[in-house]
Structure 1
Amino acid sequence: MARMIRVTRHIALDESEIAESFIRASGPGGQNVNKLSTAVQLRFDARQSPSLPEEVRARLERLAGKRLTREGVIVITAQRHRTRERNREDALERLLALIRQAAERQAVRHPTRPTQASRRRRLEGKRRRSGVKNLRRDQIDRD
């Protein structure tokens, strides 16, 4: 029986929806980097996942950016740490953070109009400023 991974109160992923493969990490690391495959590549098929509501799926695909393949699979590569286990945890946490961010509802901004009093104050300020600038002009310019 597959374990469920809790993402939010309403979303839980089946562990079988996430595929992991281990690859060799790039960069410095001495002889260890040439012998062991410690980096993890995590794959999650967002389009086919039955765990995600439609609106979360759409936001997730937008947020994933270059990590999303044409087929709708999110690929996360983790190689910060020296051990497989730490890299697995890191990749999974990054995936869950991405899904949590997609699950947040964005506040819709309703445009408002300025009040009549604020419009009056704005125009009065403009008139006052115009008068000050007018007084600074030379007498010749005013004619």
Structure 2
Amino acid sequence: MKDFSKELIFKTSRSSGAGGQNVNKVETSVTVLWKVEDSQFFSERQKLLILEKLKNRINAEGFLYLTVSESRTQLMNKNAAVERITDIVNKAIIIPKKRIATKPSKTQKEKRLDTKKKISEKKENRKFRY
């Protein structure tokens, strides 16, 4: 997990929702911005991965942005925003392993056919005969 929190830019705004009188006068909502292309913590390949996987979160200027307004305090929202954006970016740079296609073994095929036969016999025995 890479910590690129030094490159983050924070903006605050008034949050909507619960907070009573605070909601109208205190800027508790935190928007965190990060310029992906200017990052020194990631390689060019990792930057391309981030740009590709998180393209719906990146605006026209190339900033990855995230807004958090869960808490009533700016500090808690700031911490939550940093945690979330690092988590999102670190998940984006992971390259999943390619799946190797396998065929079912002979015993698995036989077992499947055997259970099908047993179920078929069970249902056949339920039929009413004169």
Aligned-residue Cα RMSD (Å) equals 3.0
Q: Structure 2: which 5+ residue stretches go unaligned?
A: none
Residues in 2 aligned to 1:66 and 1:104: alpha-carbon distance in whole angstroms:
18
The count of aligned residue pairs is 129
Specify the alignment match of 2:32 in structure 1: 42
Q: Which position in structure 2 is the counterpart of 1:80?
A: 70
Q: 1-side partners of 2:17 and 2:71: how far apart?
A: 12
User: What is the CA deviation profile of residues 87-139 of structure 1, one whole-angstrom value per residue up to 9, with x for unaligned ones?
Assistant: 11111111111122224442332110112333344445556666777788899
The one-letter code of the counterpart of 1:36 is V
How do residues 1-143 of structure 1 correspond to structure 2 at under 5 angstroms? 8=1, 11-13=2-4, 15=6, 17-53=7-43, 54-55=45-46, 57-59=48-50, 61-62=52-53, 64=54, 66-126=56-116
Structure 1 stretches of 5 or more lacking a match? 1-7
Identity of aligned residues (%): 28
Structure ranking higher on relative contact order (CA contacts 8 Å, 6+ apart): 2
Q: Could you tell me how far apart the structure 2 residues matched to 1:36 and 1:48 are?
A: 32
Equivalents in 2 of 1:30, 1:124: separation in Å?
67
Structure 1 stretches of 4+ moved >3 Å: 120-139
